[in-house]
Amino acid sequence: MGDWSRRCSMPDIAAQLAQLPHLRREISQLTAEIERLRDAMPHATDVVKASAREYPYTEGCVTVSGIDLTATEARRYSLEISHKLSERSIRRDQLLDLADSLEREINKLPDSRHRQVLRLRYIEGLTIEETAEEMKYSVPQVCRLQKAALHDIE
């Protein structure tokens, strides 16, 4: 596994894979928070006179918008939001990298049944029973496949 095993600090692959549905949920939450923070940034919009860049230079109006940093309070608030945005974006990127590396390990497995079991169990978050039903296998058979898949991935 090389680089992947060094990046993950959890003791075993099953525990790491069990985190995938939670990682995806946290990524969604961070993405929503990032959008809320972006929407909370104080914006200013103004209409200004402008002309075309090329001849004939016809006059018109252009709407300009951006972050409003005129007031001290707005500037402080914008800096706070920018800091939070940066932190959330960094955390989301870290989680995406971790989730992607776990999924890449699953995709490397040569046995399709092993990939299916791990995807259903850890990416989609299904229970053993739901996985057995989805794959049309018995629960003990899914348990054996999962154990074999985890052994192959380690």
Q: Mind listing the pLDDT tens digit for each residue in 106-138?
A: 999 999 999 999 999 988 889 999 999 999 999
- What pLDDT shows up at residue 67? 62
In this prediction, what percent of the chain has a pLDDT beyond 90? Answer: 28
The pLDDT of residue 12 is 75
* pLDDT tens-place string over residues 63-100: 777 666 566 666 677 778 888 888 989 999 998 898 88
Average pLDDT of the residues in 19-41: 84
The Cβ of residue 116 has, within 10 Å, a number of other Cβ atoms equal to 19
- For position 5, what pLDDT does the model report? 36
Predicted pLDDT of residue 68: 61
Share of the chain above pLDDT 70, in %: 84
Beta bridge partner(s), residue 18: none
pLDDT at position 60, please?
A: 81
Q: Are 51 and 60 in contact (CB under 8 A)?
A: yes
Rounded Cα–Cα distance for residues 19 and 6 (Å): 17
Give the amino acid at 103: E
pLDDT in tens, 137-150: 999 999 999 999 98
| Paired strand residues for 50 | 60
How many distinct helices (H) and strands (E) make up the chain?
A: 7, 2
Task: Among 43-47, 51-55, 79-83, 107-111, name the one with the lowest average pLDDT.
Answer: 43-47
The pLDDT value given to residue 110: 93
Are residues 88 and 99 in contact, defined by beta-carbon separation less than 8 angstroms?
no
